[in-house]
Amino acid sequence: MKLLFTTNSNPDLTKLLIRKAGLRLGKYQLGRFVDKEIKLELKEEVRGKEVCVLGSSFSPPENLLELLILINTLKINGVKKITAIIPYFGYSRSDHQYLPGTPINARLMAQLIETAGATKIITLSLHGKTKKFFRIPITHLSAMPLLADYVKKLKIKNLVVACPDKGGIPLAKEFARALKIKNILTLEKSHPTPQQTKVIKISGDPRDKNIVLVDDMIQSGGTIIKAAEALRASGAKIIYVAVAHLVSTGPALNKLKTARTIKQVIITNSVPIKNLPKKLKIVDISGLIARHLYK
């Protein structure tokens, strides 16, 4: 039985994973010193063992620091192998230089996790080119089949899959294949300012169709809501949203809750959400992770 050590980033997913993967929670204490620095103390012998560490690196930044310190503490105490389970990999949107003078944070974070001592990564629906920055073995899971299974159960008639921009085409195609839908709609957008999104073109005909908009993550909610509004204005009927990650620390949760053009938002539990609105439905990823832990 493998040991599982976790940060404070997702306690509910921790409980589910322990049950489904047959893991035992390691004995350790994770807290803060008076000056708020992270304090960690292992409470059992780990030398020579193979362990798992669960932690997302989403905001606030302390989650990433907890993950790095936990991995490194296990490494310097003689752990043989460390599988880092990172349901949501923060900073992945910064996977290339958008403008001169901007960082490539996804590469930096991948290097930090490797340097800390992780020997393998299990993660879910990475954004863009992030996977290529890892030099250690990585199991890159996709949330699309799980989300598609949920949509199947809704038995929506006259359903079409759409993606909010060209970058999401591969995800939309994967989702559509799972639903045995041949064609997808693609929206093209422009950014009048860094904070604004404007849909300029829809490839395909959404008239009288029920739509499921597919994406890897929602942070502010602006892109997905603008896409839903454009589809509705072009004749679409009921609009659903299916995304792997909803980063609930920003304004997205309230925007989605009040968006009249969106009937339902289907997400995973990669990021914990408090006070879940009725419009949002969660698909559990713990079983998916458990199936790949011992491969």
For 141-170, what is each residue's pLDDT tens digit? 999 999 999 999 999 999 999 998 888 899
- Residue-by-residue DSSP string for 216-257: EEESSSHHHHHHHHHHHHTT---EEEEEEEE-TTSSHHHHHH
Tokens standing for residue 19: 């049950």
Structural domains of the chain, ranges and CATH numbers in brackets: 3-141 (3.40.50.2020), 144-283 (3.40.50.2020)
Whether 189 sits among the annotated catalytic residues: the reply is yes
Task: For 48-87, write each residue's pLDDT tens digit.
Answer: 999 999 998 877 788 999 999 999 999 999 999 999 999 9
Q: Which residues of the chain have pLDDT under 70?
A: 190-200, 249-250
Quote the pTM value: 0.92
Start-to-end C-alpha separation, the chain: 14
CB 147 within 8 A of CB 266: yes
Q: What is the dihedral of CA 124, 130, 132, 136, to 10 degrees?
A: -60
- Residue 2 has what pLDDT? 87
Rounded Cα distance between 212 and 215, Å, is 10
Q: Which of 20, 49, 131, 189 is catalytic?
A: 189
